[in-house]
Amino acid sequence: MRVLLIHTEFFRWEPKEPAGEIRDEPNRGEAKNALVAFLTVEEGDVPDDGYLSKIVEDIIDVANKVKANSIVIYPYAHLSSRLARPYISRDILNKIYDILSANAKGFSVLKAPFGYYKQFEMKCLGHPLSELSRSYTPETAHKPGAQQPKQTPDVYLILTPEGDEYHPAQFPLDKYPDLKALVDKEVFKKELPGGEPKYIEYVKRFAFDWEPMSDVGHMRYGPDATVMMELVEDYAFQVAKSLGIPIFKIRGTNMFKLSEKPIETHAKLFGERLYVVETDVDSILRYAACFQQFAMAKDWVISYRNLPFGMLEIADSYRYEQPGETVLLFRLRRFYMPDLHIFTKNLDNAIEVTYKLHEKIFEEIRKIGRDYVSLYNITAEFYKGHKDYLVELAKREGKPVLLRILPEQKYYWVLNVEFHIIDELGRPREIATFQIDVGNAMRFGIKYIDEENKVRYPVIIHTAILGSVERYLFALFDTAALMERRGETPKLPVWITPVQIRIIPINREYLGAALDLADELENRGIRVDVDDREETLSRRIRDAEREWIPYIVAIGQREAASNIFTVRIRGKGQIQLSRQDLITTIEKEISGFPKRPLYMPRLLSQRPSYKQL
């Protein structure tokens, strides 16, 4: 930060016109015998109380030495070429004003508005201390040995289904290995087990990979990966509708202006993980669907009769993860979130809805043969008044849960539940979540009319029942890795596999029969392809197995004549099935799940090579 201090006989200013979208309310002002602090916020400046207090301390010291009556904070962008982004500058200048107002005893403290072209007049008092300049950085402003303000630490407890509380160090964690892995990471901060996870090899078979021509943490999705992504997106909507409340699916933008106060306030919670876009106005890329859904909901006319209802968007979401933190298909800078927000009448109504939501979250992860271990982030006040609710959720999980109790409400939520699986390498991996939000309805102006015709603000539940699209797929691939570790054949659920059955004609003579069977399967909503390449039969069968095709059928003279097929089923071996039994068997496996067509040519001879097998 650059600071120019001028001791003036008088100083007056008047805003003329806006200089940007991020700005304060315009106000004119005047001060006599004033120390004017012209402040330029630079790249690298942070809204840290200790850092800003040092700057304020120096300003007060000079004001005392020159015997000023007033101190004026004047935003000034002309002392450096390395300017911070406007929303950061305004935040820091406002904090300096607040700290100065609280500590500058005996001085009148004023602040000129940020974000305007301003006219000012002053008369500088010519003495040795009337013009001084300073330069600060967070590093040089730190005073060795200085005491940092004391913060009450978060408290971790283990809560059992019987309602008993334990400090993690006193709990028999060895009886609960999944909980132990979560406690080791969250409470004891132990380093996670290392090693290359097996699923990385798997996902590349399905054309998931990094995009080297983009920013770190951005992926590319080939045709196999694309159909899998879109199937999960469809399934997320299907699962949301199964909650039994009205669900509205929407679509919106991914970029929001920081000059909008609710956006700025909400965005600060993500700090350095925000993707800031440098355009003609300061904007951010959204980190979930919250901004779009809240901006839309505030324009809806909502009655208590409409509540609860949900709003779902498959939101392309952006989080500025550090380069060393990104993990393929798990921790990304850009990902897709089936983000559901449920608007409820009040806290009691929200709690009632979360029981069904909690049940659905566990139901979905158990469908793929996994289970969650849960971390409940909760405010102390909410826990004090709602411990029975937490005990009931632990009962429904059937095992102890980890609580992290925050001494005060730092965020918009009073409860934020993280549902973790323990991956193939023994590491906790968060997949699903829900939060109870008591702050954003008022912040964004979302209202409803209650039974007495009064305006109320709904309590909002944030949830991703399946997790992000990529993380749900990660869970499926990690489950396959566990299968292989147990000595089983790794596989995916049939509904999510890009090709559900491959038909291999023994030679060109039987291509017509293969295509006829493929037509019937496709008409029944089954994704089928035909390997018509000029390769040996054994090579084509081997390639299908390397692609994890669930059903493989070879057609020759006997099969074409009898419509009885020898079917290779992944993980089960070979069985004889009639044409109708084959169709019925696959339909049973995909029943209740969404369907999408094949996203590539049916004939393998028409495809370039694009996957790592």
Count other C-beta atoms under 10 Å from residue 193's C-beta.
Answer: 12
Tokens for 85, please give them: 């982004």
The helix or strand, by DSSP H or E, that contains position 428, with its residue range, turns out to be: strand 428-437
The fourth-level CATH superfamily of domain 155-252+287-477 is Bira Bifunctional Protein; Domain 2 (3.30.930.10)
Tokens for 537, please give them: 């039969």
Bridge partner list, 41: none
Please choose, from the candidates 180, 178, 219, the residue with its C-alpha nearest in 3D space to the C-alpha of residue 200: 219
**Rounded-to-integer distance, Cα 143 and Cα 98, Å:** 21
Quote the pLDDT of residue 145.
47
DSSP sequence for 473-488: HHHHHHHHHHHHHTTS
pLDDT in tens, 502-518: 999 999 999 999 999 99
Range of lowest pLDDT (135-144, 159-168, 295-304): 135-144
CATH match for 2-135 among 3.30.70.260, 1.10.3720.10, 2.40.110.10, 3.50.80.10: 3.50.80.10
pLDDT in tens, 221-274: 999 999 999 999 999 999 999 999 999 999 999 999 888 888 888 777 776 688
pLDDT in tens, 507-557: 999 999 999 999 999 999 999 999 999 999 999 999 999 999 999 999 999
**Rounded-to-integer distance, Cα 473 and Cα 251, Å:** 22
**Rounded-to-integer distance, Cα 496 and Cα 476, Å:** 9
Domain range list for the chain: 2-135, 155-252+287-477, 494-606
Quote the pLDDT of residue 598.
97
CATH match for 494-606 among 3.40.50.150, 2.40.37.10, 3.40.50.800, 3.40.50.300: 3.40.50.800
**Rounded-to-integer distance, Cα 100 and Cα 107, Å:** 10
**155-252+287-477 matches 494-606 in fold:** no
Please choose, from the candidates 76, 71, 108, 70, the residue with its C-alpha nearest in 3D space to the C-alpha of residue 89: 76
Q: What is the dihedral sign for C-alpha 486, 488, 489, 492?
A: negative
**Rounded-to-integer distance, Cα 445 and Cα 295, Å:** 9
